[in-house]
Amino acid sequence: MTKFESSVKQIAYPVEDVYRNISDLSNLERVRHLVPGETMQTFNFDSDSVEVSVAPVGTIKLRVVERDENKCVKFETEQSPVPFNLLIQMLPVTETESTMQLTVEADIPFMLKGMIGGPLQDGVEKIADALSKIPYV
């Protein structure tokens, strides 16, 4: 397994609000309009899973497999060109601010690691950046 970590992101909301929104994927409805339609053909979700189809990657379906209140949410792939786990960790900084970091552990074949390692690291950073800007009210 190869590990990719985002930088630690500052979030201007309490950790309880961040966790509540991330741990229930049905909250994605509030930010659906932020998803770029030209790159994403499918964007479906319920409280425990999310499915996206992105050209040229294909369909990726993630399911929540672990929730640790106000600390982390762990996802595993149910469908993906490359199997991976996604961990979203959060920590309180003050009563009104928190931090977040994303970690992806992917089962990348050695021959592909050089080709997709950089883009995957960039993707993890972009997702973390986007999650840090969501209004968690």
Supply the pLDDT for residue 104: 96
Rounded CA-CA distance 35/41 in Å is 10
Measured from the Cβ of residue 135, the count of other Cβ atoms closer than 10 Å reads 10
- pTM for the full model? 0.90
Supply the pLDDT for residue 125: 92
Q: Long-range contacts made by residues 71-79, C-beta under 8 angstroms, separation at least 24? A: 71/19, 73/19, 73/22, 73/23, 78/49, 79/51
Averages of pLDDT over runs of 10 residues in the chain (137 residues) are 95 96 88 66 88 83 97 96 93 97 92 83 89 89
Supply the pLDDT for residue 39: 64
